[in-house]
Amino acid sequence: MLSTLRIKGLTTELLDIPIKRPHQFSTEKVADKSFVLIRVQFSNGVVGIGEGTTPGIWWNGESVETMKVVLDRYAAPLLLDEDPAQIEHLLQKLNRRIRGNVFAKASIEMALFDGLGKTYGVPVHQLLGGQNRDRIPVRWALASGTPDGDIEEAQSLVDSGNYVNFKTKSGKEAPEDDAKRNIRIAEGLRGKSTIGIDPNGSWDRITAVKWMDAFFEAGIDFLEQPLPPEDIEGLARLSEMKKVPVMADESLSSVQDALRLAETRAADIFSLKIHKSGGMKNTVKIAGIAEAAGISCFGGTSLESSIGTAACLHAYASIPNLDYGSELFGPSWLADDPVINPLVYEDGCILVPDGPGLGVELDEDKLKKYRRTEQKGALTR
């Protein structure tokens, strides 16, 4: 029987939430994180919530501001009076009418799944096939700015039992200096912990090939997206060296990318992210291609709050091949969280929520505090 459930409204708002310490990416340093919060009203009174956020506009061209326009102006009219239970149908409709904008589409899908989970009284992972695990290991991103600071930070986090393994950010310095710094950090942590390196596509083939042996000797766990997103052949050459496992992140943003990477043997590990691939369903499909090709998966993050991180958890918990754990540290990296029941970290893991829907509830007082009320930009200064 077709459901009589209907979508009766869709609203969005922007939030700017401070972070605990500034974060150095390859191209910019950030001091707060922006989000678009989306609420979808169902005809049964349920409100599904979703969150859109990006590492920055440099990552794939989307920002919270572009997402808000796409959602308000273009997506909302397509969804109105539709049946929210027909998620695949709605995603296809959006894909036919709105090209790209995968981060915006992922946040809609998130809100639909949350509303459906609440309607049926089940956690979202049950709508995705059930959970294979109730907790997922988390890597913390070291970004203190100095090798000694990173080693010290990692050691104290291991000693306190908060984290076991780590990731570093690269790409700001010259590749040679980056490589040496990472080797120094890995050697400083030898026997105690490991790091994965993420230059966000900023190195070239010669640099990556040249340092591969030294990375292997230093016990580095994985090399994530060393080369520009389009250099699939370069990634394949690095994978062929059979030294440090190569992870694809920016090169992997669709189901089609996953197939191409698998066919060309260009990655040993896929970094999954629900926003970059347009949602939880696509993420599960990508993990299926990885499974068929013998590729491991890693639970990536776009640095979401507890809302988006919960969506990641439901998707990642439902797949069988999450061999490399995750980097779902967004909620503990933010100085505050817009929900009344933030996600829980325990012994180096993050727990999969089991309440209805995403399993998190909005905190209206915090939304009031962090809601953006003025335009941001040079023209409004």
Whether 233 sits among the annotated catalytic residues: the reply is: no
Cα 296 from Cα 284, distance rounded (Å): 13
What's the min distance (Å) between Cβ of 301 and Mg ion? 9
User: Which residue's Cβ lies closest to Mg ion?
Assistant: 249
What's the min distance (Å) between Cβ of 197 and Mg ion? 10
Q: According to CB under 5 A, which one of 51, 109, 198, 257 is a site residue for Mg ion?
A: 198
Encode the chain in three state secondary structure. CCCCCCEEEEEEEEEEEEEEEEEECCCCEEEEEEEEEEEEEECCCCEEEEEECCCCHHHHCCCHHHHHHHHHHHHHHHHCCCCCCCHHHHHHHHHHHCCCCHHHHHHHHHHHHHHHHHHHCCEHHHHCCCCCCCEEEECEEECCCCHHHHHHHHHHHHHCCCCCCEEEECCCCCHHHHHHHHHHHHHHCCCCCCEEEECCCCCCHHHHHHHHHHHHHCCCCEEECCCCCCCHHHHHHHHHCCCCCEEECCCCCCHHHHHHHHHCCCCCEEEECCCCCCCHHHHHHHHHHHHHHCCEEEECCCCCCHHHHHHHHHHHHCCCCCCCCECCCHHHHECCCCECCCCCEECCEEECCCCCECCCCECHHHHHHHECCCCCCHHHC
Query: Which residue number, 87 or 269, has a Cβ lying nearer to Mg ion?
Result: 269
Residues between 205 and 264 with contacts to Mg ion, criterion CB under 5 A: 249
Query: Which residue number, 170 or 193, has a Cβ lying nearer to Mg ion?
Result: 170
Query: Which residue number, 51 or 198, has a Cβ lying nearer to Mg ion?
Result: 198
Residues between 313 and 372 with contacts to Mg ion, criterion CB under 5 A: none
Catalytic residue, candidates 167, 169, 276, 281: 169
Query: Which residue number, 109 or 198, has a Cβ lying nearer to Mg ion?
Result: 198
Region from 162-170, 193-201, 232-240, 258-266 binding Mg ion, contact rule CB under 5 A: 193-201
Whether 152 sits among the annotated catalytic residues: the reply is: no
What's the min distance (Å) between Cβ of 72 and Mg ion? 29
Contact between 114 and Mg ion by CB under 5 A: the answer reads: no
Cα 304 from Cα 314, distance rounded (Å): 14
# residues near Mg ion by CB under 5 A: 2
What's the min distance (Å) between Cβ of 51 and Mg ion? 19
What's the min distance (Å) between Cβ of 328 and Mg ion? 13
Query: Which residue number, 59 or 113, has a Cβ lying nearer to Mg ion?
Result: 59
What's the min distance (Å) between Cβ of 225 and Mg ion? 5
Query: Which residue number, 178 or 198, has a Cβ lying nearer to Mg ion?
Result: 198
Catalytic residue, candidates 51, 62, 304, 327: 327
* Contact residues for Mg ion, defined by CB under 5 A: 198, 249
Catalytic residues: 169, 327
